[in-house]
C-alpha cells in the first residue's frame, strides 16, 4: 500500500510540473482568478452534509450533488450549483487483491489524479455558451487522503443520455434534437479551432452533454481532456506523458474512441470528429453506441446502421420510434450522411468541426422550411403502407395496416393546406386497391 501511495504522489507531482511547463502562452495569459475557492464546510453545508437525497449523478470520477451557495458578494438569492465530490485515494483500498486487480486499481487511481487536474486546468480558461462553467473548487487533505470537490453551474435537464435512454423522461422532439446537435458541434469546434490552444475532449458522448432549462447543450466531463498536437504535428503519440495510462483505461473500460486511436494511440482532433459521428447516430436512433442487451447483430450502433444507408428505402428503420414519425426524413438523411463522413476510416477525410457546424446549420434551415421534406415524409408513409399490404396474408390485416398509415398521412395533409392534391388521389388508390383484392399470400422481398 505504501508503494501505491508513492506512485500516486509521483504521478500527481509529475503531472502538475508538466502542466506548468506545457500549457501554452494563450492559456497562461488568461487569469484563473475567476474560480472561487470554497472551504469544505461551505460545500458540506450546501449539500446538507452530502445528503443522498441531493445526489443527482454518479460517474467514474465521483458523485455529484445538488447544492446552494451564496453569491460572491454574499448578497442576493442563493445560487443553485452542482458539486462533484472526488475521493482520489478511494481506489487504493483493495485489500488482498491479485496483481491483475492491483494494476486496474492503480490505473484508475492515476486516471482520477490526472482527471481532477484536467477539469480545473481546462475549465478555468475555457469560455463558451456550449461548455459547462466551472465556478470553483475545494481541496481537502483528510483522513481518507486527498479529496477534491468541484463546483459547476447547475443544469436543470440532466444529460442527453437521460432523455434518450431513460423512458421515464418524455421523448426529445425532433427540433430539440437538432438544437442539441448544433450546440454540441459548436462546442467541439471551439475546442478544436476557436481557442488559442487546440483541446481534445476525448470523452465526447451523450452523457457528457448536459442540458439547461431551455435544452441548450453544454459539454462537460473534461477529466480526459488534453492539449492537441503542436502545429507541425498531426497527432499526439501515446508515448507522451499520461496518455499511456489514459489509453489503457479507455481499452479496459470500453470508452468510445476512434479506431486509429485504439489501435495506435495516435490522438488528433479527427479522432474526436469520429466520436461526434457516433453521437449523430445516437440522436437519430435513440440507441446507445453499444448495447449488450440487444441481439449480437445490433449491439454496435455504428455497425448496425450500415444496413440502412441514407439513400436506402429502409433508412427510416434506424429512426427513434419515440419520435412517432414527427421528423423531417430529408433532414434525417442528410444528418446520416454527415455522420458517415465523420465516421470515415481515413482520418484525413473526416470534416473539421467548423465544417460540421455549417452543414448542420444548413440542414436545420432546410428542415424548418421543410415543405418539400414533409411531403417526402408523407409519401414514405404511403409507401410503407403499400409494402405492409403486400407482405400481409389476410385482407383484414391489410385493411388495419393501411387504415392506420393512411389516417396518419391524411391528418398531416389536413394540417397543411399547401399539400398537393395528388396525395389525396394516392390515398384513394390505396383504398381502391384494398377493396379490389381479397385474401392473398405474402410476398417476399
List the Cα angle 60/66/68 in 5-degree steps. Answer: 140
Cβ–Cβ < 8 Å for 94, 102:
yes
Q: Residues with catalytic annotation?
A: 203
Cβ–Cβ < 8 Å for 228, 202:
no
CA 71 to chain centre: 31
CA quadruple 326, 332, 333, 338: dihedral, nearest 10: 180
Rounded Cα distance between 91 and 249, Å, is: 14
Residue 137 has phi, psi (to 5 degrees) of -155, 170
DSSP annotation of 194 reads I
Q: Walk across the sheet containing 55-59 and list its strands.
A: 36-37, 134-142, 145-153, 79-87, 62-69, 55-59
- 14 annotated ligand binder: no
DSSP annotation of 79 reads E
Cβ–Cβ < 8 Å for 44, 50:
yes
Rounded Cα distance between 206 and 184, Å, is: 10
Cβ–Cβ < 8 Å for 416, 370:
no
DSSP annotation of 86 reads E
Rounded to whole angstroms, what are the CA distances from 269 to 28, 170, 397?
A: 22, 34, 52
Cβ–Cβ < 8 Å for 309, 315:
yes
Q: C-alpha cell of 41?
A: 464546510
DSSP annotation of 387 reads H
Cβ–Cβ < 8 Å for 151, 43:
yes
Residue reference for cell 479522432: 271
Rounded Cα distance between 390 and 393, Å, is: 8
Cβ–Cβ < 8 Å for 121, 192:
no
Q: How many CA atoms lie within 13 A of 408 on its CB side?
A: 19
CB atoms within 10 A of CB 91: 20
> Which parts are annotated binding residues for ATP?
85
* Residue set of the binding site: 85
Amino acid at each position: 500500500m505504501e508503494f501505491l501511495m508513492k506512485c500516486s504522489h509521483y504521478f500527481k507531482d509529475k503531472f502538475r510540473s508538466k502542466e506548468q511547463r506545457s500549457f501554452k502562452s494563450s492559456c497562461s495569459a488568461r487569469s484563473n482568478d475567476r474560480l472561487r475557492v470554497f472551504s469544505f464546510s461551505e460545500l458540506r453545508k450546501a449539500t446538507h452534509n452530502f445528503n443522498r437525497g441531493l445526489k443527482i449523478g454518479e460517474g467514474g470520477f465521483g458523485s455529484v450533488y445538488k447544492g446552494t451557495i451564496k453569491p460572491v458578494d454574499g448578497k442576493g438569492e442563493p445560487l443553485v450549483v452542482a458539486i462533484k465530490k472526488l475521493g482520489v485515494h478511494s481506489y487504493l483500498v483493495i485489500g488482498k487483491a491479485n496483481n491483475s486487480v492491483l494494476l486496474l486499481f492503480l490505473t484508475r487511481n492515476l486516471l482520477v489524479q490526472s482527471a481532477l487536474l484536467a477539469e480545473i486546468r481546462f475549465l478555468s480558461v475555457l469560455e463558451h455558451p456550449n461548455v459547462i462553467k466551472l465556478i470553483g473548487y475545494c481541496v481537502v487533505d483528510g483522513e481518507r487522503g486527498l479529496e477534491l470537490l468541484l463546483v459547476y453551474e447547475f443544469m436543470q435537464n440532466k444529460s442527453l443520455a437521460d432523455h434518450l435512454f431513460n423512458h421515464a423522461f418524455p421523448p426529445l422532439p425532433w427540433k430539440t434534437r437538432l438544437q442539441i446537435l448544433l450546440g454540441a458541434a459548436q462546442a467541439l469546434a471551439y475546442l478544436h479551432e476557436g481557442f488559442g490552444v487546440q483541446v481534445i475532449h476525448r470523452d465526447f458522448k451523450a452523457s457528457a452533454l448536459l442540458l439547461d432549462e431551455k435544452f441548450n447543450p453544454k459539454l462537460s466531463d473534461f477529466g480526459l481532456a488534453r492539449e492537441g498536437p503542436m502545429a507541425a504535428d498531426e497527432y499526439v503519440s501515446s508515448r507522451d506523458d499520461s496518455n499511456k495510462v489514459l489509453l489503457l483505461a479507455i481499452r479496459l473500460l470500453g470508452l468510445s474512441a476512434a479506431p486509429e486511436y485504439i489501435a495506435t494511440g495516435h490522438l488528433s482532433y479527427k479522432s474526436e470528429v469520429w466520436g461526434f459521428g457516433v453521437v449523430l447516430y445516437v440522436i437519430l436512433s435513440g440507441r446507445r453506441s453499444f448495447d449488450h442487451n440487444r441481439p449480437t447483430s445490433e449491439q454496435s450502433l455504428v455497425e448496425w446502421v450500415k444496413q440502412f444507408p441514407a439513400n436506402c428505402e429502409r433508412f427510416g428503420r434506424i429512426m427513434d420510434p419515440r419520435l412517432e414519425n414527427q421528423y423531417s426524413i430529408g433532414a434525417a438523411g442528410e444528418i446520416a450522411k454527415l455522420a458517415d463522413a465523420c465516421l470515415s476510416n481515413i482520418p484525413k477525410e473526416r470534416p473539421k468541426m467548423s465544417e460540421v457546424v455549417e452543414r448542420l446549420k444548413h440542414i436545420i434551415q432546410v428542415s424548418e422550411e421543410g415543405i418539400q421534406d414533409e411531403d417526402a415524409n408523407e409519401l414514405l408513409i404511403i409507401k410503407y403502407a403499400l409494402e405492409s399490404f403486400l407482405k400481409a396474408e389476410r385482407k383484414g390485416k391489410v385493411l388495419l395496416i393501411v387504415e392506420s398509415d393512411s389516417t396518419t398521412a391524411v391528418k398531416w395533409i389536413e394540417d397543411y393546406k399547401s399539400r398537393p392534391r395528388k396525395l389525396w388521389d394516392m390515398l384513394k388508390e390505396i383504398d381502391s386497391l384494398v377493396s379490389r383484392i381479397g385474401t392473398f399470400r405474402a410476398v417476399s422481398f
